[in-house]
Amino acid sequence: MKKYFIQYQPFLLFLGKFFLAYLMLTVIYQFYLNTVGDSIDAITENVARLTENTANFFGVKITTIKDYMHYNIIYRGKVTARIIEGCNAISVIILFISFVIAFSGKLKQTLLFVLGGSLFIYILNIVRIVVLSVLMYYYPAQEHILHGVIFPLIIYGAVFILWVIWVNKFSKYATKTTK
């Protein structure tokens, strides 16, 4: 049995670091959510504000109106989407950070990549919400494919590309590959 632990040590270390980071970040986020109680958390409020500001900056007149536990997005007088806590991309960012930590490299590079990648995911998510809100006005019957397939594919695809860049360029494993 010891032979297998030694043989698969890099993989087991990766799994251990990934799940530990994921668990810790998820617990911290859940603690944060529990502190806000029955109201919309500040991160989701910020996503709603930035969605409206980003759309308006590009000439797309979108309004966000606070409802009980979400924001309604209004485009051309019609509610086309809602922003709930799950729309703030924090769960995707936690997944991203956990993977980077599991394949950690030098501390400074890791921190810079985590910060830059998280910011990129956050901004991409806001753009995703703007585009989705407009498309839902014109193609409401395609909600499942737009919200459930295409846009998750875009955001998770971007995260996957960031992971590939991290592993190949910056992680401690990148320097061990021959070129």
Q: Considering its fold, how many domains does the chain have in total?
A: 1
Segment (H or E) for 83? strand 78-83
> Is 176 a residue whose pLDDT tops 90?
no
Q: Is the pTM of this model over 0.85?
A: yes
Phi-psi region of 45 (alpha: psi -120 to 50; beta: other; left: phi over 0): alpha
Instruction: Kindly state the average pLDDT of the residues 57-84.
Output: 95
Domain that holds residue 172: 2-176
| pLDDT one-digit tens code per residue, 14-42 | 899 999 999 999 999 999 999 988 889 99
Rounded-to-integer distance, Cα 90 and Cα 10, Å: 28
Rounded-to-integer distance, Cα 26 and Cα 153, Å: 22
> According to the model, what pLDDT value does residue 175 have?
60
| pLDDT one-digit tens code per residue, 103-138 | 887 899 999 999 999 999 999 999 999 999 999 999
